[in-house]
Structure 1
Amino acid sequence: MSGKNHTTWAHHLPANFQSNHDYAKIFQILRILRFNNRETCSSRKQNDKFAAIHDLWTFGAFVIVDQQLVAFRGNCPFRQYCGLKFCILCDNETSYVWNIQPYTGKQPNQPSEENRGLRVVLELSYGLKGHNITFDNAFKSYELGQMLLKITVTMIGTVRKNKPSIPTELLNTKNKEVFSSTFAFTNNTMLVSYVPVVVQSTFHFNKNFPNSVSKKPQAILDYNQTKGAVDTYDKMVSCYTSKRKTKRWPVVVFSNFVDISAVNGYILFTKVNPNWKQNSLAKRRLFLENLGISLVQIHI
């Protein structure tokens, strides 16, 4: 949990926990924490930027693919702006993390990858069947929609306007009223230009306007309702996290891995026990306290 909760957390520890001595042990463990074999590290780094933690890393009807940026300012060969980027597949209803991939950019001694977004979505969604995936224009393409249909997975997503698959009639919005809609169809795909965005869907097949006031097509409403799971997960992690200030990026990745496991554990536990702490406003904090004590109790 975050540093401000150390005092509360310590009050729940067993009486034989010697705080100063045992905290020193914890900091010593954090200082020497490593996830890599030094003997083979140099050779594996030549072809894999993620080699320092790669060995450890391998691991609803509506889901979402989106990007997560984990804050980090140290030296890392694939740092993006002020952090490490991950692509996440989440359940829309609960924000349960189904799958995750790090973004490492161009690998050493390898050519630049084309259609990276297509590969990432297909790998993240491996094993899904009968689901719908929502994502933004960083991943969306007509080819991806067709490949997902082959594994009985539909999609909804915004499309960049420079895509050649978009008819010019949908791109010409100069004289169109704001929030007006123009549609285009193939036998299995629908495009709607809802000024000022373009959305592609293999989940919708008609011009449905359930809300006569906003005049939003059903595809736009469904996209808005199913795009926020990763943002919700980010908010959950920002409240209680195992991350500590460090200049070693594998430790940041490991902390993110712990945070994901804790969030997933909380989601599963509350689904199985819906009446647990039902009236409490601090359910997740209490769950994390109990989880931490359960994990360390047998080692004390």
Structure 2
Amino acid sequence: MPRDRFKEIMKYLRFDVRSERSTRIITDKFALISQVWNRFIDNCISCYKPGENVTIDEQLFATKVRCPFIQYMANKPDKFGIKFWLCVDVKSKYLLNAYPYLGKDETRPQSLGQHIVMHLMEPFLNKGRNVTTDNFFTSVSLAQNLLSKRTTLVGTINKGGPDIPSYVKNLTLDLYDTKALKTENDQCLLTVYQTKRSKNVLLLSTLHDSVHIHSGDVKKKPETVMFYNSTKNSVAVVDQMARRYSTRAPSRRWPVQVFYNILDLSAINAWVLYQEINNKKIRRREFILRLAVELSNILEEPTREETSLQRSIALEMPATELRKRRNCYQTHCKNKTNKVCDLCKKPLCGRCNLSKIFICHNCK
């Protein structure tokens, strides 16, 4: 695509109807791209059946655009960005559901953590699955609410939270010791594990009835801690994959930046679906390159018709290479090349090539 054509497309790229924007933005801060976002999430939910374990965590999409809900997080590599809550399948790393953080909402009946988990897990409730969360989301009320809908919860819980008894807040055990506590109705199991001499970790679980400690482990990690460690990093892996191969480009409009995030996440989901449907593994970088070529070929207008001979050559015979670089046989061209025409075997540079395979002017 020519550069000027690309700039023209980016100049007029919009994701909503501008005449209706003023009325929709009153009730929806995400109105400039909410229609595209909702279609993307609906496709994510309908195209995949998740496994028994899912994880919910945050993603900070790094950007410094002017946006009413931009976030600053000091513990992230990129301090500024748009925050998304992601629900990811633990085994395949498929994005199941996502939700943008649009700022404080005083009309919300529940706490933010509980509201996010219930919203993201709504399509997957009453199926016997388990969700893993960190201490921002985990609470006893959330665990009981999920358990009433046949969904278990495993997650770390804040030591200073209102659900924690006072004697547990000041509890100090010997190094690598474990203490298990249950609620009055025996629905929730609280595990206290002393990771360091001055620090312990609290985990809340409705999946485990008791705590089993593996005898071969030097640190004597309980079963709840090992399960949490094996399922907590799914969202971080998806965020890392999206950062490694990204379509992101400079732009000062936040809907365009959100659209880049949609493209990155949808490429990950397409890669997971391709592997599971075809039952074979492929490198994600190779898959993304092939996906980009196929998507561009759909919209590409053919400039000439290739003969059956050229198609057979393209499939069977790769472009021949010379041992030494020679001048291109075109009189107006002064380039040197080690490639030749596939039909007449004359030296031919890539600039004078007329096809995806190497075909010169005379052979065309």
Instruction: Give the TM-score taking structure 1 as reference length.
Output: 0.86
1:49: Cα distance to partner? 1.4
Structure 1 window deviating more from structure 2 (24-33 vs 287-296): it is 24-33
Aligned to 1:202: 206
What secondary structure sits across from 2:138 in the alignment?
coil
- Does structure 1 residue 177 correspond to structure 2 residue 168? no
Q: List per-residue Cα deviations over 1:177-212 (Å, max 9, x = no partner).
A: 233222111321100111311100000111210244
1:43: Cα distance to partner? 2.2
**2: CA distance, partners of 1:203 / 1:37:** 47
Q: List per-residue Cα deviations over 1:7-53 (Å, max 9, x = no partner).
A: xxxxxxxxxxxx5x3x4322321222111221121222222211111
> Which of 161, 185, 199 is residue 159 of structure 2 equivalent to?
161
Question: Larger Rg: 1 or 2?
Answer: 2
AA paired with 2:242? V
**2: CA distance, partners of 1:248 / 1:97:** 25
1:111: Cα distance to partner? 4.3
What secondary structure sits across from 2:226 in the alignment?
helix
8 A Cα contact 1:96 1:263, kept in partner: yes
8 A Cα contact 2:160 2:169, kept in partner: no
Aligned to 1:43: 23
Alignment of 1:1-300 (within 5 A): 19=1, 21=2, 23-58=3-38, 59=42, 60-81=51-72, 82-106=80-104, 111=107, 114-128=110-124, 129-173=127-171, 175-186=172-183, 187-195=186-194, 196-211=200-215, 212-277=217-282, 283-300=283-300
RMSD over aligned Cα atoms: 1.6
**1: CA distance, partners of 2:285 / 2:173:** 50
The sequence identity of aligned pairs, in percent, is 35
* Structure 1 stretches of at least 4 aligned residues deviating more than 6 Å after TM superposition: none
**2: CA distance, partners of 1:240 / 1:234:** 11
**2: CA distance, partners of 1:104 / 1:80:** 10
8 A Cα contact 1:170 1:182, kept in partner: no
**2: CA distance, partners of 1:144 / 1:289:** 42
Aligned to 1:14: none
Give the unaligned 5+ runs of structure 1.
1-18, 278-282
